[in-house]
């Protein structure tokens, strides 16, 4: 079994050191195996026995700790790009679904205006909350071509992954603050608006849960980038 063992052991050791999207990891490891098999075949054709050919191929590939560091950077970057796309798609979608849910169960906000229109500061917070999801999704969308530009200038995958995590984290944080601000402001102006419709209250709870999940994804960008 020594014939398959040396390359297998190396790849198992590499696999154990890597964390990140499984599909990307499997793809990287499959390509590494191809390369090691090719190199071992070339050395075997040059006269080495099978096990020595594999040892030579593994030695040429590089120390597993060094290679794992480079591969881990790629995995962190892949996770970062996915997280940014998730922010871009999910935050606006969550806002639209919340508004549709609200309009179905409550109707127009003017239904609450029997006690007089809300104060100007409340309307300002409401407008900020309405646009927050779109603004942060736009910022995340802009981060993608900026990241590509930085990659062309030689910025490392680890640094790019950290930047993606930072952008996603700030985007989620801004959206979370906007959601909490409008919730607290609504409770202050008219607590009934929050309690009148359990489905709308449930939708708000779901939105907060989605943001918490996104925050976990953003944090993982930094965790994966740390190796």
Cβ contacts of residue 147 below 8 Å, gap of 6+?
81, 160, 163, 164
The minimum distance between CB 71 and another protein, in angstroms, equals 6
Which CB sits closer to another protein, 26 or 130? 26
Task: Report the greatest alpha carbon distance in the chain.
Answer: 92
The minimum distance between CB 227 and another protein, in angstroms, equals 13
Q: What is the full DSSP assignment across 53-70?
A: HHHHHHHHH--HHHHHHH
CA distance 203 to 157: 37
The minimum distance between CB 217 and another protein, in angstroms, equals 19
C-alpha separations of 99 from 25, 103, 104, 190, 198 in Å: 39, 6, 9, 19, 14
Stretch of 35-43, 109-117, 170-178, 212-220 contacting another protein, by CB under 8 A: 35-43
* 5: contact with another protein by CB under 8 A: no
Q: Is the dihedral of CA 145, 153, 17, 36 positive or negative?
A: positive
> Using CB under 8 A, which of 63, 107, 119, 199 touches another protein?
63
> Using CB under 8 A, which of 90, 94, 125, 157 touches another protein?
157
* 34: contact with another protein by CB under 8 A: yes
The minimum distance between CB 66 and another protein, in angstroms, equals 7
- In the complex, which residues of this chain contact another protein (CB under 8 A)? 27-28, 30-32, 34-35, 38-39, 60-63, 66-67, 70-71, 73-74, 77, 81, 147-148, 151-152, 154, 156-157, 160
């Amino acid at each position: 079994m020594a014939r398959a063992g040396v390359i297998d052991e190396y790849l198992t050791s590499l696999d154990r050191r890597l964390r990140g999207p499984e599909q990307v990891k499997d793809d990287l490891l499959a390509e590494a195996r191809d390369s090691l098999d090719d190199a071992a075949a070339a050395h075997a054709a040059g006269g080495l026995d099978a096990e020595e050919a594999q040892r030579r191929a593994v030695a040429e590939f590089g120390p597993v700790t060094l290679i794992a560091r480079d591969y881990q950077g790629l995995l962190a970057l892949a996770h970062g790009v996915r997280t940014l796309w998730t922010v871009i798609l999910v935050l606006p979608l969550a806002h639209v679904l919340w508004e549709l849910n609200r309009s179905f169960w409550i109707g127009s906000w003017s239904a609450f205006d029997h006690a007089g229109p809300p104060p100007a500061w409340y309307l300002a917070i409401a407008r900020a909350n309405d646009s927050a999801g779109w603004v942060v999704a736009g910022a995340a969308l802009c981060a993608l071509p900026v990241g590509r530009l930085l990659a062309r200038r030689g910025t490392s995958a680890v640094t790019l992954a950290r930047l993606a995590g930072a952008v996603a984290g700030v985007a989620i944080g801004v959206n979370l603050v906007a959601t909490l601000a409008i919730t607290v402001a609504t409770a202050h102006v008219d607590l009934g608006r929050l309690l009148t419709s359990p489905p709308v209250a449930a939708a708000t709870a779901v939105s907060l849960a989605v943001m918490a999940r996104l925050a976990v994804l953003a944090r993982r960008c930094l965790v994966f980038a740390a190796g």
